[in-house]
Structure 1
């Protein structure tokens, strides 16, 4: 199963140094039954894209919690056995947790399929979105518009061999 782990660039540097995504438990995003029902599609590529976007939103939340972080969303795509990605039964149908899964243990870097990171052009919009996230959560429409502006940027795809260039 492909899962998407939200990180920051500092988190990606830790993954590279440790040669694993972890330590566990980890929150990740995947194509879960609730995500399938919410997204109403049978196209696996569309569903995986939705899970990737859920992880990108979680990465933005990490950035909002660390104002010193480089404002670039980071998502690591990892392949794990289906049994390793567990949906929390208490949160499985919570709209805020759609696609959310837990990984109990760290995942070796060798299981990373790709890294997705914001382009340089997205940095100012991502920084603004991270700053506006709290107000958006409280219902501020202008703040939500700013958060949506970051979501308009597509994450770029990188091979694992490119991680040193991303964190350097």
Structure 2
């Protein structure tokens, strides 16, 4: 099963050093039965894109948390795509998070299929989205528009062997 795990560039560096995505439990996004039911007209590729987009939203929140903790994290969303056994994944039940899943064990790098990362051109919009998150969460429509604007940027696909160059 393909699972999309939100991350940041500093966290990706830690993953590379540790040789696994962890520690468990991990929150990820995947094509779940609830997502299939909600997005009934979509094929597998469209559903995986929805799960990837949800993971990118979670990555934005991770960036905001890192910044609040004083971590110097570049304003680029990161999503790690991994292949895990279906038995290792449990789906969430919340309607607003139809694709959310929980992994009870770390994911070894050998199971990572690719990483998806914002291009450098997206950084100004990602910075604006990070700054707008608190107001967006409080219901400000203008701030929500700014946060949603981050999704106008497609994440770039990178093979696992490219990760060291991305971090260097």
Give me the TM-score of the superposition, normalised by structure 2: 0.94
Counterparts of 1:160 and 1:26, CA distance in 2: 20
Counterparts of 1:119 and 1:32, CA distance in 2: 28
Counterparts of 1:26 and 1:44, CA distance in 2: 23
Q: Give the match for residue 72 of structure 1.
A: 76
State whether residues 19 and 109 of structure 1, in contact with CA within 8 Å, keep that contact through their aligned partners in structure 2: yes
State whether residues 34 and 93 of structure 1, in contact with CA within 8 Å, keep that contact through their aligned partners in structure 2: no
Counterparts of 1:98 and 1:58, CA distance in 2: 14
Instruction: Compute the RMSD of aligned alpha carbons.
Output: 1.0
State whether residues 118 and 153 of structure 1, in contact with CA within 8 Å, keep that contact through their aligned partners in structure 2: yes
1:133 partner SS: helix
Q: Give CA deviations for 1:84-125 in whole Å, capped at 9, x if unaligned.
A: 11113xxx1331x22110111111101001000000000110
Q: Give the match for residue 107 of structure 1.
A: 107
State whether residues 3 and 30 of structure 1, in contact with CA within 8 Å, keep that contact through their aligned partners in structure 2: yes
2:24 partner SS: coil
Counterparts of 1:137 and 1:39, CA distance in 2: 25
Matched positions, count: 164
Q: Give the match for residue 118 of structure 2.
A: 118
Runs (5+) with no aligned partner, structure 2: none
Runs of 4+ in 1 over 4 A off after TM superposition: none
Q: Give the match for residue 21 of structure 1.
A: 21
Deviation at 1:149, TM superposition (A): 1.1
Q: Give the match for residue 136 of structure 2.
A: 136
Give me the TM-score of the superposition, normalised by structure 1: 0.94
Q: Give the match for residue 83 of structure 1.
A: 87
